[in-house]
Structure 1
Amino acid sequence: MGSATRWETDTGPEHSQWYIDRFRRLAVEGADLAGEARLVDALVPPGSRILDAGSGTGRVGAALAARGHTVIGVDADPALVEAARADHPGPRWLVGDLAELDLPAVGEAEPFDAAVLVGNVLTFVAPGTEREVLRRIAAHLRPDGVLAVGFGTGRGYPLNDFDTDAVAAGLRLEHRFATWDLRPWRDDADFAVTLLRRPAA
């Protein structure tokens, strides 16, 4: 692993278990935890190969796998990956730093049709690695592959910086919404869902 992520430096030692317990409780309560997965599912053909980058407890990747996609999830927090493996068998869940992402090195050489970065992942990576994270993910996409990214606009990573980093990473901005259920973007929105694409040529 490289530099410490904000997930490690900005949260307490009990945060990972709190996070795991929270999503297990929400699942038991019947909360809708698949909104992001529904959007990504609509963007790709059936049976696509999808990278869940910053997969956390596996809720989004599991929902995509349930829709028939092949999912590889990667997260830097071993506790979250262990919870994903326990709660959502089927996808392959891996511990890894997104700023050093190299899935061919672990036997996943086939490119992905799509990737998803949900749950404010980009605001939790190590400071200054956001562009490299986007570049590494883009390198794992097939030409014309799509990346769906969502994070809060007030969490220390300005959208202008994100847009600049995305272009530098070789991605093209296609759409932006205020929510995962595609409500229109507003400049004062407190959340941004951005669809990026790796150009076909």
Structure 2
Amino acid sequence: MSARTPEERIPSQWEEITAADPGHSMWYVERFRAMEAQGKDIVGEARLVDAMLGRGGRILDAGCGLGRLGGYLHDAGHVVVGVDVDPVLIHVAEEDHPGPTWLVGDLAELDLPARGVEADFEVIVCAGNVMTFLAPSTRESVLAGFAAHLAPTGRVVVGFGADRGYEFSQFLADAQASGLTADLLFSTWDLRPFTEDSDFLVAVFSRAH
């Protein structure tokens, strides 16, 4: 996947938010630090991923943010690579969760082999409403990048909420067009069934063959 030049590159909605408010990234970090200090569960998504593979699994945390999921999964014994477009969040991940490979990068131009990282992940997790912070025109490119970075029997897990500008039906159609097959749909990270009235979607995909 060839990278666009800086002039051609389409910024994500997250980048537009942080450009307008340079303090937003650290506000986001402190929000999760406060939740953790209050004893709230901030790694439920990671527990689901941990249950999907044995020790030493290769995991891509796509849109890893401050490393809350990738850090947990590394401590659980997995090999973790985290990618996020926000250098502030990647710096926090490196400071708070040493061990995984943390990379600044645009998911719409994902090409980890070009950066010396093997593209054979057993699980790719994309949590935290990351899909809804992408530039809409790049969504299929991101999903196709996930498919290209999967091991042959690997799986992609994506979760995001409704009413955030990306209809679930369109997302599932985009995923299918990008080479992914939807295997399981849930309404929560603790695996409650997905229905037409669900206000959250957790989708598990495999690579189409």
Question: Scaled by the length of structure 2, what TM-score is found?
Answer: 0.92
Which whole-Å CA distance do the structure 2 matches of 1:90 and 1:29 have between them? 25
> Percent same amino acid among aligned pairs?
52
More divergent stretch after superposition (3-12 vs 87-96): 3-12
Which whole-Å CA distance do the structure 1 matches of 2:176 and 2:189 have between them? 22
Which whole-Å CA distance do the structure 2 matches of 1:79 and 1:20 have between them? 9
In the TM superposition, what is the alpha-carbon distance from 1:45 to its structure 2 partner? 2.1
Is it true that 1:22 corresponds to 2:58 in the alignment?
no
**Partner amino acid, structure 2, of 1:5:** S
Which whole-Å CA distance do the structure 2 matches of 1:141 and 1:167 have between them? 15
1, 8, 14: which one pairs with 1:7? 14
The aligned counterpart of 1:105 is 114
The aligned counterpart of 1:87 is 96
In the TM superposition, what is the alpha-carbon distance from 1:110 to its structure 2 partner? 4.4
- Contact 2:17-2:24 at 8 Å conserved across structures: no
**Residues 137-166 of structure 1, C-alpha deviations (whole Å, 9 max, x = no match):** 110001121000000111001111111111
Which whole-Å CA distance do the structure 2 matches of 1:144 and 1:179 have between them? 24
The count of aligned residue pairs is: 200
The aligned counterpart of 1:152 is 161
In the TM superposition, what is the alpha-carbon distance from 1:197 to its structure 2 partner? 0.8
TM-aligned CA distance change 1:109 to 1:159, over 3 Å: same
Is it true that 1:73 corresponds to 2:68 in the alignment?
no
In the TM superposition, what is the alpha-carbon distance from 1:10 to its structure 2 partner? 3.9
- Contact 2:119-2:148 at 8 Å conserved across structures: no
Is it true that 1:178 corresponds to 2:187 in the alignment?
yes
More divergent stretch after superposition (174-183 vs 105-114): 105-114
Q: Which stretches in structure 2 are left out of the alignment for 5+ residues?
A: 1-5
**Partner amino acid, structure 1, of 2:11:** A
Is it true that 1:164 corresponds to 2:173 in the alignment?
yes
Which whole-Å CA distance do the structure 1 matches of 2:152 and 2:180 have between them? 10
Which whole-Å CA distance do the structure 1 matches of 2:180 and 2:152 have between them? 10
In the TM superposition, what is the alpha-carbon distance from 1:168 to its structure 2 partner? 1.1
- Contact 2:119-2:150 at 8 Å conserved across structures: no
SS in 2 for 1:108: coil
SS in 1 for 2:73: helix
In the TM superposition, what is the alpha-carbon distance from 1:9 to its structure 2 partner? 1.9
SS in 2 for 1:151: strand
Is it true that 1:64 corresponds to 2:73 in the alignment?
yes
**Residues 140-199 of structure 1, C-alpha deviations (whole Å, 9 max, x = no match):** 001121000000111001111111111111110011111000111121111111111114
- Contact 2:162-2:200 at 8 Å conserved across structures: yes
**Residues 53-110 of structure 1, C-alpha deviations (whole Å, 9 max, x = no match):** 0000000111111111000000000000001011100101100000000101111024
54, 57, 61: which one pairs with 1:48? 57
Q: Which stretches in structure 1 are left out of the alignment for 5+ residues?
A: none
| CA-atom RMSD in angstroms | 1.2
Which whole-Å CA distance do the structure 2 matches of 1:6 and 1:145 have between them? 28
In the TM superposition, what is the alpha-carbon distance from 1:29 to its structure 2 partner? 2.1
